Amino acid sequence: MTMLAHGLSAAALFMLAGGLQHRIHTRNMGDMGGLWTQVPRMAVVAVFFSVAA
């Protein structure tokens, strides 16, 4: 059960990273600041899956 939960949360975090890159149109970490103001719903989901991992 733990391995399943880890697999799902890791997959969700990778999907969120790709979605964030697609939404902000950059891979530069310095330009990705202000996640809460740019994409607040995605930030909440990212925090949820980060805690789940």
Residue of 18, 6, 9, 22 whose CA lies nearest to 48: 9
What is the pTM for the complete model shown? 0.74
Q: Which residues fall within 8 angstroms of residue 43, CB to CB, at 6 or more apart?
A: 35, 36
Q: Where are the domains of the chain?
A: 2-26+36-52
pLDDT of 35-44, one tens digit each?
788 888 988 9
Name the 3-class secondary structure at 4.
helix
Quote the CA–CA distance of 35 and 30 in Å, as a whole number: 11
For 15-32, the pLDDT digits (tens) are 998 988 888 888 888 887
Q: Using the predicted structure, report yes or no on whether residue 53 has a pLDDT greater than 80.
A: no
Number of H helices, E strands in the chain: 3, 0
